[in-house]
Structure 1
Amino acid sequence: MGSAVTRPDAATPDWARIRADFPLLQRQVHGKPLVYLDNANTGQKPAGVIEAVDAFYRRHNANVSRAVHALGTEATEAYEASRAALARFIGTRGDEVVLCSGTTFAINLVAYSWALPRLKAGDVILVSRMEHHANIVPWQLVAERTGASVRVAEITPDGALDLDALQRAMTPEVKLLAVAHVSNVLGTVNPVREICREARRRGIVTVVDGSQAVPHMAVDVASIGCDFYAFTGHKMCGPTGTGVLWGRREHLLAMPPFLGGGEMIREVSFDGTVFNDPPHRFEAGTPNIAGFAGLRAAVDYLQGIGLDAIQAREAELLAHLTSVLDAAGGVRIIGRAPHKAAVVSFLVEGAHAHDLATLLDLEGVAVRSGQHCAHPLLQFYGVAATCRASVAFYNSHDEIDAFAAALHKVRRLLG
């Protein structure tokens, strides 16, 4: 079930050749060539990922860890090979990698299996202003049930974390810190290694949302020094319904199961159940086996290009995208932190974000509009919604120019 994608020399990527690996990017929308600038929402899939999913269902489909026949063995081997590949991808070992449906599930697993049994009245969960709802709401639910409280770590007007204020907020009652590696709205790249070091000095457990980081830069969880790291497969060229929770082994061993059912048990009787060791303890039921076969192909694909090359390419595209928006006039960019990933949220004078996105779609340009699952962040900026253009390595400078032309046309239509 190997990937059939074309892998150029990692030292000198041929970006046009790489773009051709993505079938969907060849289509038209409303009679116009598609310009897909919604990569922070979900990434597109190279042919090798699609073929890996197809090959699993055509040749290997069976359940994992359930049967001794050939198909069952092949399915289990494919699933565990994906775990091993993902572990190497983030610089860890397989017994610390929980395979799950995505970041939302992963963070909820930490909330209900680590935080809920431990937190109590008077404890504090520290959460940054720029978090996705998936890294806010689970902590609110835990706080309601335990008597703990949620404290907000604020940002600066340019969209960076206020690191001095963050350190001051790390008081003795703070037991857990939840922070995004990269903001899905601002593109801000947070210094998570420094943040986690300061938290560790104070005995604070850290949960890092890596959904917007893993597709765009090399990630090494040991170097970051966090306690938990979560990311989603579909944002990194993989299938939907796939993701990872990495946790320090000592935490996983001490955590009770989140869900009960098949695979997470070792022995069941009516007198009691003996649970499996982590990570399988947290993988109840039939997983998305084909999806993880595809995610392994996505990991191979990204590594074939090289994460450093991807990061450099996207930095070029981000600079171009920012420059065309600055040149447009009447455009307000939300978030200009010094260190950014390839995400730009913006407003156009006199145009509602939804109207703008709808009209851009008629020109074949796909951007996101709305609150981006980050209501508290948009409240900080005093806006109801923004448009968000987010690029990936398979985008091109020509596409950004096409976006600029479409934006100019739409602004004329809006008067």
Structure 2
Amino acid sequence: MINAQKLRQEFPILEQVVNDEALVYLDNAATTQKPEAVLQTLENYYRKENANVHRGVHTLAQRATQKYETAREKVCQFIHAEKTEEILFTKGTTASLNWIARSFGDRFVQAGDEIVISYMEHHSNIVAWQQLAKRKKAVLKYIPLTKKGFLDMEEAKKQITNKTAVVAITHASNVLGVLNPIAELTNLAHLHQAIMVVDGAQAVPHMPVNVKELDVDFYAFSGHKMCGPTGIGVLYGKQEWLEQMEPVEFGGEMINFVHLYESTWADLPWKFEAGTPNIAGGIGLGEAIDYLDKIGLVEIFQHEKELVSYVLPKLQAIEGLTVYGPQDPYEHTGVIAFNLDDLHPHDVATALDMQGVATRAGHHCAQPLLQYLGVAATVRASFYLYNTKEDADRLVEAVKETKEFFKYGTF
């Protein structure tokens, strides 16, 4: 069992006061805070080991390279990939999905092929496929949702056909708080000879993920949502596909030999990683993985379930508050999107912030989903390993105070 009160002491940023109130950070779906261990690792790299990787024979270069590639091995073990050749470092989930759409898509998707996504996708997993469909004259299709906010699997079986080339689905919604049946979707995609692409940004930080068991072809996630630095992400891809794909960026690091009029590429995974990489970010991500492994992903998942089971009924009991997605706490991840009466979500989030509670308001990079739900925006509270029941209580009380403020004019 997680002792969140003790864990939060390892996150210096959580100790501060915001608007004369102790900070309650509930914007974890946007980015998570960094523990002291990760901060120290980043500082140590720049103070003692800063050098470019893969190129130098001097001691600092060798140390930097060893730590950077060790981080790749940690990622490989963390998601249970077959080999490190299948782990590509990118800038983040968005970059990873764009690499797939550009590299795999431009080579293998043909005019008339289908690309199947869902209404709950983040813009990163929509726009890249929209652009591919336009380039290749492919057909973009959407899997609808059930009334409870789950992916409609009966409709999925109708949408995914023998014309489908790509199925791209989020593992966990960043708005609705639902988990999708990725293994079942992958089986369905492969039954029709389509590839399965997964946006794992909201899943990998919160639960164990085994890409071999899921049998997905590609899986993308970001370091900054799992206690790691910004600007570093991961694209997992099956080696059989990566070997057939062409790089989408060119320059140093990714070449084998450059002739005057043609070039050859380095082996996997480096053939996709042009230029000087985010070395500190990669090493920091490796440290974040060590940190999460020490706590345990199963324990993190259970902790978030307990928090949602505690707070969701309290929110639902507030008159005029609407929660989107499943109403059963046991069907909900740590992401809770809601609206309060007819108040604008930005006004609600600002009022919460004045009480020290950090949430997010807006469309959450999921405009098609919010249009599907019939709202322009929501407030989103998202929990993580360092959040406590006291944080949950502060959220509930702040929402109640906000309701009173907009009714009577005073906190």
Equivalent residues of 1:53, 1:293 under 8 A apart: yes
CA distance in 1: counterparts of 2:204 and 2:108, whole angstroms: 29
Shift of 1:149: 1.5
* 1:336 is the counterpart of 2:326: yes
Within-5 A mapping of 1:67-86: 67-86=56-75
SS in 2 for 1:51: helix
Match of 2:375 in 1: 383
Equivalent residues of 2:102, 2:132 under 8 A apart: yes
> Paired residue for 2:269, among 279, 283, 302?
279
Equivalent residues of 1:160, 1:337 under 8 A apart: no
Shift of 1:321: 2.0
Match of 2:394 in 1: 402
Aligned length: 404
Match of 1:21 in 2: 10
Match of 2:405 in 1: 413
Within-5 A mapping of 1:278-357: 278-336=268-326, 339-357=331-349
* 1:369 is the counterpart of 2:358: no
Equivalent residues of 2:2, 2:300 under 8 A apart: no
Letter aligned with residue 285 of structure 2: L
Match of 1:45 in 2: 34
CA distance in 1: counterparts of 2:108 and 2:303, whole angstroms: 43
CA distance in 1: counterparts of 2:59 and 2:332, whole angstroms: 48
Shift of 1:15: 2.4
Shift of 1:337: 6.8
The two structures have a TM-score, normalised by structure 1, of 0.96
SS in 1 for 2:225: helix
Letter aligned with residue 397 of structure 1: K
Identity over aligned residues, as a percent? Answer: 44
> Paired residue for 1:267, among 257, 265, 274?
257
CA distance in 1: counterparts of 2:22 and 2:2, whole angstroms: 24
In structure 1, runs of 5+ residues without a counterpart are: 1-11
Shift of 1:26: 0.7
- Extract structure 1 runs of 4+ deviating beyond 2 A: 12-15, 337-340
CA distance in 2: counterparts of 1:107 and 1:337, whole angstroms: 31
CA distance in 2: counterparts of 1:124 and 1:337, whole angstroms: 33
Query: CA offsets per residue over residues 223-279 of structure 1, 9 Å max, x none?
Result: 111100000000000000011000000000000011001110010011310101121
Equivalent residues of 1:317, 1:396 under 8 A apart: yes
In structure 2, runs of 5+ residues without a counterpart are: none
CA distance in 2: counterparts of 1:324 and 1:315, whole angstroms: 15
> Paired residue for 2:46, among 57, 78, 91?
57
Match of 1:240 in 2: 230
Letter aligned with residue 40 of structure 2: E
CA distance in 2: counterparts of 1:271 and 1:288, whole angstroms: 29
The two structures have a TM-score, normalised by structure 2, of 0.97
Match of 1:6 in 2: none
Query: CA offsets per residue over residues 5-59 of structure 1, 9 Å max, x none?
Result: xxxxxxx433222111111111110110001110000011100000100000000
CA distance in 2: counterparts of 1:164 and 1:88, whole angstroms: 34
Letter aligned with residue 32 of structure 1: E
CA distance in 2: counterparts of 1:361 and 1:220, whole angstroms: 37
Query: CA offsets per residue over residues 104-128 of structure 1, 9 Å max, x none?
Result: 0000000000011221211110011
Letter aligned with residue 236 of structure 1: M
Equivalent residues of 2:2, 2:303 under 8 A apart: no
Shift of 1:407: 1.0
RMSD across aligned positions (CA): 0.9
Match of 2:85 in 1: 95
